[in-house]
Structure 1
Amino acid sequence: MRQIGVPHPHLPLPAAGGEDDMAEFLAWLGEAIPMVPSLGIREMRRDGDRLIWSLSLIPSLNDKGTGFGGALAAQTTLLGWCWTTLWLRRHGLARDVVVAQASQRFLAPVTGDYCLTCEPEERDAPAELAERLEQRGKGRIALIQQLWCADTLCLEARGDYAVLPAS
């Protein structure tokens, strides 16, 4: 049972040069952040520099029977945190990540199950993050999230994620 003010233990890093098992990471995430099992995440996968979640709408319904904006905004923010954390882990770093800034633009109602994607805003952003971490021990990356309901783009979000110095 999670307690206020007590950090959750980090998941052990994957073997050198290895990738995280997404199911294992998602299970750990559900323990670390108690609301995660209620988000309706069906699948988490990577496609190149893109992290993708497939989600059920049912847990995020609003009073109108469409997606609740607050839940969708929380999901985009968490997906960016996951992208950054998984990127660090692939590079052998167990570091703390926090969202520094986030914004959302709602374009259409979410009327069914959906897909969330997350990728760097700029193509060279991961290399720049690696350089800043090497030089200064901390850094930031800007990520873009998109929510797709079938072929309709319903939400665009942007977040700046800060990687904190090693403690």
Structure 2
Amino acid sequence: MNRDSRYLESVLHHDIPLTREMGLKVLSWQDHQLRLHLPLAANINHKSTLFGGSLYCGAVLAGWGWLHMRLREAGVEDGHIVIQEGHISYPLPVTQDAIVLCDAPADAAWSKFLTMYKRYGRARLSLDTRVINAEGADDAVRFTGQYVLHR
């Protein structure tokens, strides 16, 4: 775990205490991709799979964490990030620990987001998150979230 990962995990565990109970860990922040770990044991349901609510929370947090880290790199530290809207699908069960991934949006979308925030003090960005089983490659969960940054 590098310094950026430790920093984000500390922020999440302090500002969103639920993340501690979920056992959420930040695996990496590298090349504008955020990878989180969500353990099955702390989030198991009655079917011995990862609880859908925990998966939703992990997906939202991956987008929130991605935006937090990217804004930090851009030197933007005066805003508040909130999730405005989210859409999720669960094509496969998560039967083991989960890896939650959030990749960068298109460069044009990021540039427009920063320009809007600097100009108006408010901007929206859509981020895609996916969840895979720790030993798998196929998307078990797909999430698209609309995040708002405001002063």
| TM-score calculated relative to the size of structure 2 | 0.89
CA deviation string 1:29-62 (max 9, x = no partner): 2111111112222333123222111232111111
Greater Cα shift, 65-74 or 120-129:
120-129
Letter in 2 for 1:28: V
% same residue: 23
Question: Which residue matches 1:64?
Answer: 47
TM-aligned CA deviation for residue 121 of structure 1: 4.3
Gapped runs of 5+ residues in structure 2? Answer: none
How far, CA to CA, are the matches of 1:117 and 1:59 in structure 2?
19
Question: Which residue matches 1:14?
Answer: none
Greater helix share, 1 or 2?
A: 2
Letter in 1 for 2:144: R
Question: Which residue matches 2:140?
Answer: 154
Work out whether 1:21 is the aligned partner of 2:4: yes
Aligned counterpart in structure 2 of residue 138 of structure 1, from 92, 108, 122: 122
Question: Which residue matches 1:115?
Answer: 99
How far, CA to CA, are the matches of 2:35 and 2:109 in structure 1?
18
Aligned counterpart in structure 2 of residue 127 of structure 1, from 111, 115, 132: 111
Secondary structure of 1:64 counterpart: coil
Aligned counterpart in structure 1 of residue 15 of structure 2, from 23, 26, 32: 32
Greater Cα shift, 19-28 or 88-97:
19-28
Contact 1:40 1:57 in 2 (8 A): no
Contact 1:120 1:141 in 2 (8 A): no
Change (3 A) 1:120 1:24: closer
How far, CA to CA, are the matches of 2:147 and 2:10 in structure 1?
22
Q: Which has the larger radius of gyration?
A: 1
Q: Name the Cα RMSD after superposition.
A: 1.7
| TM-score calculated relative to the size of structure 1 | 0.81
TM-aligned CA deviation for residue 84 of structure 1: 1.1
How far, CA to CA, are the matches of 1:57 and 1:151 in structure 2?
17
Question: Which residue matches 1:97?
Answer: 81
